[in-house]
Structure 1
């Protein structure tokens, strides 16, 4: 089922060098009530136009002209540095956890990383837009799974229970406590208990705000 129009009018800039893919993204956003103020086929114009239009969200492919390397990712990083209030979603043809880590940097808020094959489902793209515009993260579950599978040495994450690791993985994808509860078919208080356990085992002190500790936990999970 496709997403209906959003309650709040949002403005987006799209960067994608393949015309048919670019038009498909623009069409999906338009059907969801998101205004696409510009759609571009190269990274240089993406940065320039975003600075002028100041949209709510930028959606870009990683591999873009002029170099057809990681130009889109570099453009996204510059946009996020220059305009931290703009949500950024990067699309990738292939699963590459290193790109996701580069994009996340020191703060996953307002960041999305999705595999292109997934955005054939409009709901997924629109949900990601809603999350990053709200300052949350929207990381592809397959990328999270790839990061989880990496070998770790002396990692405090090993102290987490299987359920706590499951909760932390969903936090890293960008889900709220209510969203995690729905995914795991448990109550919100149960999720809150798991989150508290995660904070404690990762040494995240109560002197920090809950949201800040949540971000630190996700960063620890992604980078350690």
Structure 2
């Protein structure tokens, strides 16, 4: 687990299943995070964030009344009201369309994980810190599904696919190198090749990384938005 100094992150949790909600509160407070509110529906989520002004929100995508995308729509409203709020959404199932919707307006401060990832508390907390710091945290299984069916990315080698997968999950070049067992310089070569193959113009490195992620999301949906 990453060691951090300074005030604990303040969170609002939104999950309609009481057992899961209480479990999240316990897991995260045990890791030193502060839960400012824990609620069970989108309206209560919006009210709690407006009232407590947390650093981040952890919310289920599917919530009452329809158990479809209420959490996702609440997240969009929260981004409008509180642009600097970190938002980490989770779901029981892989929903690639949700990932595309989440990132369509820019991936900064956004995360999408499967519920099973909560069991790996250290990684979950690291993902929270990442979105609060303005990064992106995508579940590896979601990324794999997105990468698996895009003809536009066929030119990438398996190693480049793996690099892009880690890039989309929000890892730095140093972290990608450690995960893949290669040097940071090798990661930089892979990312440069990815940018070239995806025909991404030279801008800032951070912006090109974002565009690479959005490119395969757009390809998954069939056409750019």
CA distance in 2, matches of 1:168, 1:68: 32
- What is the CA–CA distance in structure 1 between the aligned matches of 2:118 and 2:208, rounded to whole Å? 30
Deviation at 1:4, TM superposition (A): 7.9
d(CA) in 2 for partners of 1:59, 1:113: 10
User: How far, CA to CA, are the matches of 2:102 and 2:176 in structure 1?
Assistant: 23
1:26-83 per-residue CA deviation (whole Å, 9 max, x = no partner) reads 1111112111101101101101221222211100011112333211111111112221
Instruction: State the match for 1:46 in structure 2.
Output: 45
In structure 2, the residue matched to 1:169 is: 165
- 1:49-60 matched pairs, under 5 angstroms: 49-60=48-59
Give the SS at the match of 1:21: helix
Q: Retained in 1: the 8 A contact 2:160–2:194?
A: yes
In structure 1, the residue matched to 2:223 is none
Q: 1:7 offset after TM fit, Å? A: 2.3
Contact kept? 2:64, 2:70, Cα under 8 Å = yes
Aligned counterpart, 1:101: 100
State the distance in 2 between where 1:81 and 1:190 align.
Answer: 39
Consecutive aligned runs of 4 or more in structure 1 exceeding 6 Å deviation:
none
* Alignment partner, residue 192 of structure 1: 188
TM-score by length of 1: 0.92
Aligned length: 218
Task: Give the SS at the match of 2:16.
Answer: coil
Paired residues for 1:73-112 under 5 Å = 73-112=72-111
Whole-Å separation in 2 of the counterparts to 1:36 and 1:117: 20
Aligned to 2:212: 217
How many Å apart are 1:5 and its aligned residue?
Answer: 7.2
**CA–CA separation in structure 2 for the residues paired with 1:160 and 1:69:** 34
Matched, 1:7 2:9: no
TM-score by length of 2: 0.91
1:204 alignment counterpart:
200
1:134 maps to: 133
By how many angstroms is 1:173 displaced? 1.0
